[in-house]
Amino acid sequence: MPDGGPAVEVDGLSKTFGDVEAVRGIEFTVRPGEIFGFLGPNGAGKSTTISMLCTLLRPTGGRALVAGHDVVRERDDVRRNIGLVFQDTTLDGYLTGEQNLRFHAELYGVPRSVMRERMRQVLEMVGLWDRRRDLVQTYSGGMKRRLEIARGLLHSPRVLFLDEPTVGLDPQTRASIWDYIRQLQAAEEITIFMTTHYMDEAEFCDRIAIMDQGTIVALDTPEALKAGIGEDRVRIETTDDEAAIAAIRERFGLEAGVSEGAVAFSVASGEAFVPRLFAELGVPIRSVHVSRPSLDDVFMSFTGTTIRDAEAGAGDRNRAVMRAMRR
Ligand SMILES: Nc1ncnc2c1ncn2[C@@H]1O[C@H](COP(=O)(O)OP(=O)(O)OP(=O)(O)O)[C@@H](O)[C@H]1O
- Encode pLDDT of 147-169 as tens digits: 998 898 888 899 999 888 887 77
Residue 96 contacts residue 132 (beta carbons within 8 Å)? yes
Judgement on whether residues 93 and 214 belong to the same structural domain of the protein: yes
Distance 298 CA to ligand 1 centre (A): 23
Question: Could you tell me if 213 and 238 lie in one domain?
Answer: no
* Structural domain count, the chain: 2
Contacts of 24 (CB under 8 A, 6+ apart): 14, 45, 213, 214, 215
Of 194, 190, 185, which Cα lies nearest the Cα of 163? 194
Verify that 252 and 168 share a domain, yes or no.
no
**Cα of 175 to ligand 1 centre, how many Å?**
30
Is 313 within a domain? no
What does the pLDDT read at residue 313? 52
Amino acid symbol at 92: D
10 Å CB burial of residue 213 (0-12, 13-18, 19+) is: middle
pLDDT at position 326 over 50: no
Higher pLDDT: 192 or 301? It is: 192
Say if 29 falls within a structural domain: yes
Which protein residue has the closest C-alpha to ligand 1 atom 13?
Answer: 22
pLDDT digits (tens, 9 = 90+) for 31-68: 999 999 999 988 899 999 999 999 999 999 999 999 99
Name which residue sits closest to atom 1 of ligand 1, judged by CA. Answer: 17
- Which has the closest alpha carbon to 74: 11, 1, 152, 151? 1
Residue 122 lies in a domain: yes
Residue 308 is predicted with a pLDDT of 61
Write down the pLDDT at residue 265. 85
Residue 11 near residue 52 (C-beta atoms within 8 A): no
**Distance from the alpha carbon of residue 51 to the mean position of ligand 1, in angstroms:** 11
Among the atoms of ligand 1, which is closest to the Cα of residue 312?
A: 26
pLDDT digits (tens, 9 = 90+) for 71-99: 999 999 999 999 998 877 788 889 999 99
Provide the residue range defining the domain that includes 124. 8-226
Q: What is the bridge-based pairing of β-strands 262-267 and 257-259?
A: antiparallel
Pair 253, 130 in one domain: no
Instruction: Kindly provide the residue ranges of all beta strands, DSSP E only, lying in 144-200, ordered along the sequence.
Output: 159-163, 191-195
Tell me the pLDDT band of 323, cut-offs 50, 70 and 90.
very low
Query: What are the beta bridge partners of residue 212?
Result: 215
Domain contains 300? no
Query: Do 220 and 241 belong together in one domain?
Result: no
My answer on whether 24 and 113 are in the same domain is yes
CATH code, domain with 85: 3.40.50.300
Is the CB of 317 within 6 Å of ligand 1? yes
Which runs of consecutive H residues, i.e. helices, occur in 54-111? 75-81, 97-107
